[in-house]
Amino acid sequence: MKIISAAVKSVYILMPAAIVMAFLWAPPAQVLGDSSRIMYFHVPIAWVSILAFVVAGIVSILFLADRKGSFVMFDGIAYNSAVAGLVFTVLTVITGSIWARISWGVFWNWDPRETSIVIILLIYIAYFSIQGAMAHNDNRGRIGSAYLILAMITLPFFAFLVPRIYPSLHPDPIINADRTIFLDDRMRSTLAVAIASFTALYCYILHIMNRMMKLQNHIEETSHEAD
Amino acid sequence: MGNDVLRNLRKDFLVEFRSRFALNVSASFAAIVTIAISLTAGGVPFSPKVQAIVLWIVIFFSAMNGLSHIFVREEDQGTALFLRTAVNVDSVFVSKFIFNQAFMAVILAVVTPLYLFFLQVQVLHVAHFIFSVAAGGVSIAAATTILAAMVAKAGGKGSLFTIISFPILLPVLWISISSTSAALNAPSPTGGNLLFLLAFSGFISVISFLLFRFVWLED
Amino acid sequence: MRPINIACCILLLLLATGAAIPVEKAGDKSATLAAGQCLHAQDMHKNTPADPREAENKPEPSTTLYHVMGVVLFIWIGIAIFLFRLDRRVARLENRIPFKK
């Protein structure tokens, strides 16, 4: 527990470093110019929104598969991860559409990656609708987790489908590591630091939320016992 | 298990046949929407792509009106508790799954002729069209069985079912629409889309079967 | 959603908009129009004043980049202070409440 809380606090150092590197150290991209610097925020945020989704799914699987009662609060962790993930997904959409406006001239054009992020957004909305409808219901955790798993499992179908339906405008060379036309070493290391710092930020937020959940549960339990 | 499934199915069909509530709602909804589209369009024929989209939107929302009923009814009438204690969880799922498939088949049998009749649709490849509609219906019914159980647990709130079904049914709708529009006007439609739909429904049925106990049973 | 979640939402939103919007101003307009995509006639017109400067190979040192960075850093400092205080408060509560092992 100590190690985790120390590791996530690295965000205090990593994030300013990432910001300074993104604006001063990394060179502007050849075609996109200075506006490409939004990449150091958009790409890590998008990565975190996927990560949060996957974490929520895996934690839900652990929660449901658990027979010994060792992962009792994991439905709450999945919920917290989904909350953080929802925020990051919305931010991905916002930063992405700003970048799209700058480089393609439109805010939105149903590019495959935009479509996938919207699908994740829809899944989050559905998940929170279920959770909201089942407030004060004992089965809330199980049903929410089951839905999250079901939704996560259909995602590979989208990965197979979406690129066949919509052609992509996304700057692949910037994101794919194998085509490094636009990414020199400084850009790549800046991106790595930015990804690390946003991941740390996500972990930090999740860590705080989980601790608060634990406190809340404890207070509820003791007040029930007092009754 | 087989006996349980059969007994359950018989009960479900009898109860549904007695009131025909879900069926009436779904079929009337489909009829109203189709007629409304045809009326407001004033007899102007749509392009095949739009026709396919309209068909699947009508099917999707008609299904959303009726498919959750199978579990919501159990919770509403208080029979869910009895079913939970008396009948094995797997046979509950299988019987509800089969019932939903049958229900979906009836909805399709109502919606599709209405749509063909009112929207002046000319189908180029009849067999491919029928298979597309059937495969899409199978996928929708397969994916929504467990979702119906979740919605019933959440108190059967009407629009919740649509909200939680949409992200999961999106690939089905996409592929069904492209397959249907191919059946309407493509020179030679291929079966890849149908294969995808069948694979999807098989996959989602297995996952639902595995997850159902967590949704249905209580501590 | 608890207030903390909403606060996180707002702060992160601020970070994103702060990071993103001014960059549009800072970005070289002719360069932002990527690879000939979506070239509008109006944009072409706007770009013409910038062209002679490029021909002279003396790009004016832009201070906008520093301003943007300042704004982003400022927002980050806000988030960091918020997170730090939250963390400390939760830690204090954890110390006060005896958890059952």
Write out pLDDT tens, residues A6-63: 888 888 888 888 888 888 887 777 666 777 788 888 889 999 998 999 999 999 999 9
pLDDT above 90 as % of chain A: 25
* Residue A1: inside a domain: no
For the residues A123-136, what does the mean pLDDT come to?
88
* Residue A143: inside a domain: yes
pLDDT at residue number C100: 54
Residues in chain B with CB shorter than 8 Å from the CB of A161 are: 171, 174-175, 196
CATH number at residue A50: 1.20.120
For the residues B201-205, what does the mean pLDDT come to?
91
* Residue A190: inside a domain: yes
Closest by alpha carbon to A48, among A94, A5, A84, A3? A84
In sequence order, which residues have a C-beta less than 8 Å from that of residue B66 and are 6 or more positions away? B22, B23, B25, B26, B103, B107
For the residues B207-211, what does the mean pLDDT come to?
91
Q: How far apart are the CA of C20 and the nearest CA of chain A, in angstroms?
A: 6
Q: Are A76 and A141 in contact (CB under 8 A)?
A: yes
- Of A182-196, C15-29, C53-67, the one with minimum mean pLDDT is C15-29
pLDDT at residue number C68: 85
| Domain coordinates in residue numbering, chain B | 2-216
> Residue written as tokens 């059946």?
B183
Residue bearing the bigger pLDDT, C22 or A110: A110
* Residue A7: inside a domain: no
* Residue A72: inside a domain: yes
* Mean pLDDT taken over chain B: 87
B117 at interface of A, judged by CB pairs closer than 8 A: no
Residues in chain A with CB shorter than 8 Å from the CB of B192 are: none
For the residues A200-209, what does the mean pLDDT come to?
93
pLDDT at residue number A12: 87
Instruction: Specify the 3-state DSSP secondary structure of A29.
Output: strand
The complex scores an ipTM of 0.87
pLDDT at residue number C60: 54
For the residues A148-165, what does the mean pLDDT come to?
78
pLDDT at residue number A218: 87
Domain with A185, as residue range(s), is 14-226
* DSSP secondary structure string for all residues of A155-181: HHHHHHHHHHHS---S-HHHH-SS--S
pLDDT at residue number C50: 43
At position B139, the amino acid (one-letter code) is: S
Contact between chain C and chain B (3 or more Cβ pairs less than 8 Å apart)? no
Phi, psi of B194 (to 5 degrees): -65, -40
- Is residue B73 scored above 50 in pLDDT? yes
- Is residue A166 scored above 70 in pLDDT? no
For the residues B69-88, what does the mean pLDDT come to?
84
* Residue A184: inside a domain: yes
User: Cβ separation of B171 and A154 shorter than 8 Å?
Assistant: yes
* Residue A109: inside a domain: yes
- The Cβ of residue A25 has, within 10 Å, a number of other Cβ atoms equal to 13
* Mean pLDDT taken over chain A: 82
- pLDDT digit string, tens, across residues C26-67: 334 333 333 333 333 334 344 444 444 444 454 555 778 888
Counting the structural domains of chain A, the total is: 1
User: Cβ separation of B215 and A142 shorter than 8 Å?
Assistant: yes
User: Cβ separation of A33 and C83 shorter than 8 Å?
Assistant: no
pLDDT at residue number C20: 43
CA distance B197 to B135: 6
Instruction: Specify the 3-state DSSP secondary structure of A33.
Output: strand
Q: Which residue of B has its CA nearest to A159?
A: B171
pLDDT at residue number C33: 38
Q: Which of A1-5, B44-48, B63-67, B96-100 has the highest mean pLDDT?
A: B96-100
Q: How many angstroms separate the Cα of A200 from the Cα of each of A92, A111, B32, B58, C88?
A: 17, 29, 53, 46, 18
